[in-house]
Structure 1
Amino acid sequence: MSTLMVQLVARVDNEPSSLRSRLSDYAQQVSARYSGIKLKASAKTAATFFCLRDLLIFFDQYAEKQYQLALDTIQKSRLVPLKMDEIEPMEKLFHGLAEEVVRVIPDVLLATMNILYSQYTKLKGENQPMNGEFIETKEGQLAFLRERAHALTTYAGKIPYRMPGDTNARLVQMEILMN
């Protein structure tokens, strides 16, 4: 099931009867059925399944433009850092990730950076504070988003994984647009 999930996890598809939607529903049913029960699968297999399930949720929230929920989901997953002091611990965790999860990391980084850039441009154009962590001033909020973006690009450059050609370039470009 993880092999099928990894092929569809980053595909943004809101069709209710699509393969991705059905797989997402099935993953939710499986995790509900086995919550609180000792699994016979290896710990790594179970962790991979639950991580991919969380990524399905993240990409659904991203597609529906529920950006704050998506950031909360990705922060709970502990796959990518959103603060500079999280880079080193998450870099160490990267080495223990299953190959199925590692293959999705470039898409996760790009989606997370797109969320941060969207929040940045929205905040830059309005006078209301964003939801989530409270920061006093608009400039402080913008700096907070820039720090998160910098953490993502730094992490992308440090992890021992050969990213697809334009992933690093797109991450850096969005970070530059925020400065």
Structure 2
Amino acid sequence: MPLSDPSPHVAHGWGQVVRLRHLYAARTGLHLLIRGDGQIHGSADQTLYSLLEIRPVDPGCVVIRGAATARFLCMGGDGSLYSSHTYSRDDCTFREQILPDGYNIYVSNRYGALLSLGNHRQRLQGRDRGVPALAQFLPRMSEPDLSSFSGPDTSDQPEQTTAQTEDTMESFGRLSQIIHSPSFNKR
């Protein structure tokens, strides 16, 4: 008889496997984060606000939600990124694609624009000009100890972790040796 899953994923009520990852644009050295005030930014370090829940909603499509803020990552028709406490299938659903080099890209299911840490014009241009570095992410497991987090109301500013982080190129070198995309390892 199978054992029930006591993981925190069940507590979120998603009903399916949820990957907890930091989306890292390794070529630029930034993690995607959703701040407590709802703004979308990049951070050189993993923070509480860069930990994201990635949940499948349709074949090849996912929803991305900030674990600390409970805000969904969404995209408007002009390519602008925003976050919302309410899920909208049109604006908050992304097609997840794994590139041959192991990077993942996320494309707005409705608008066809790339999820990117660049500006909204770069996201829209990515449809025609290839995939820019700011739109190529490595889904990474947490490195710092995030257990001291007390909830989404702690601060609206991303906190720097005190854990020693590895050199960006060293961690990228280890990840690039993995045959399959790191987003699906160690579920």
- Over alpha carbons, which structure has the higher Rg? 1
Higher helix content, 1 or 2: 1
* TM-score interval for Structure 1 and Structure 2 normalised by the shorter chain: under 0.3
Normalization by structure 1: what TM-score? 0.25
Higher strand content, 1 or 2: 2
